[in-house]
Amino acid sequence: MPDIGIISSTIVAGVLLGGILALTALGLSIVLGVMRLVNLAHGDFLVVGAYAGLFFLQFTGIDPLIGLPVVAVFVGMLALPVYSFLLAPLAGRGAEAQMMTMFAVSIILENAFVLAFSADTRSIARDYATVPLTLGPITFPLIYLIGFAISVTLILAVHWLVSATAFGRDLRASAVDAQAAATLGVDVKRVQMLTFALGAACAGVGGTLMGAAFQFGPSSGGAYLLNSLAVVVLGGLGNVIGTLIGGIALGALQSIGGLTLGDGYRDLVGMALFLLVLAFRPDGFLAKGRT
């Protein structure tokens, strides 16, 4: 049995990592809520964010954490043509058409990463990625705390945007009933486009944080996507604060799973939770979104 220091360190690290996981899932969640689209390329958007952070550091020498706004805007801008040229023309053709299109985008991106950046795994090498932080018996990498702080701040900002601004009102209206919202003068297409871009921007930041905390490669998108889906399922569709809670829950449970069963079981715990929640608590996360 591991000692109390290891146990508490693991749980704290899991919770902090969970905050980052929540940010990586946020874009998926709001896009799902507003557009009824399971963005199967979401994981690859995160990978774009990780590469963007990496190359930002390499070319400017500026710390990618300072460059996060640039990365966010960059990835958000990339999402705009994806929406206008690929998704918008499929509006009214049902959810599957858009989802499959994003699946195809995912395939293309993943192979484009290999062609452009090679299949090597990389990481955004910074001191804070490896420096351990010690608080009494608890030790965890500093990047977890930094990432957690940035993630929670950003999630709260998005929560504010959704719940307290005029854009947020339009967004919520479009999520509940797009047709009714359109009748009442909401430009649903614009709301969807901005939501999609916002989701991608969050993915950009989340991807950079993941790239700083862990190694990543061209095919990391699949694992990112599945983790994000698990967070969304745990936390609740389109529910911003729920996503934060879902992320923290997943992070903590994965860490506990890894500690008790062995490290290889971390991701397995996530997938098992995901399917269990689907089986037993489906309404908890789809209260707003039943089609």
Partner 1 sequence: MSDAIVSSPRVGSASTGGLVEVAVLVGALGVLWFVPDFAGDYWLQLGFRTCVYLVLAQGWNLMAGSAGLVSLGTSSFIGLGAYAALGLLNRVGAPLPLALLICATAGGVLAALVSPALFRLRGLYFTVGTLALAELLRLLMVNVSAFGGATGIILQEDPPALPVLFRYVLVLAFLASLTITLCTRTRVSVILRAVRDDEDAAAQMGIRPYRVKLGAFVLASALAAMAGGIQAAKLGAIEPYGMFGLQWSIDVLSMVIIGGVGLRLGPLVGALFVVALGEALADYPEAHTAIAGVILIVLIRFAPQGIVGLAVKLPLIGRVQA
Least Cβ distance, residue 104 to partner 1 (angstroms) = 4
Residue 139, phi then psi, degrees to nearest 5: -130, 135
One-letter-per-residue 3-state SS of 46-83: HHHHHHHHHHHHHHHCCCCCCCHHHHHHHHHHHHHHHH
Least Cβ distance, residue 47 to partner 1 (angstroms) = 15
Q: Give the nearer residue to partner 1 in terms of CB position, either 141 or 218.
A: 218
Question: In terms of C-beta density within 10 A (0-12 exposed, 13-18 middle, 19 or more buried), how is residue 230 classed?
Answer: buried
In 136-149, which positions are buried (b, 16+ CB within 10 angstroms) versus exposed (e)? eebbbbebbbbbbe
> Helix (H, G, I), strand (E, B), or coil: what is residue 133?
strand
Which residue is listed with tokens 């400017």?
A: 60
Least Cβ distance, residue 157 to partner 1 (angstroms) = 27
- Check binding of 21 to partner 1 (CB under 8 A): no
Binder of partner 1 out of 84, 111, 121, 163 (CB under 8 A): 111
Binder of partner 1 out of 230, 231, 252, 259 (CB under 8 A): 230
Least Cβ distance, residue 63 to partner 1 (angstroms) = 32
Residues touching partner 1: how many (CB under 8 A)?
Answer: 47
Footprint of partner 1 on this chain (CB under 8 A)?
36, 38, 40, 86, 89-90, 93-97, 99-101, 103-108, 110-112, 114-115, 222, 225-226, 229-230, 233, 262, 264-265, 267-268, 271-272, 274-276, 278-279, 282, 286, 290-291
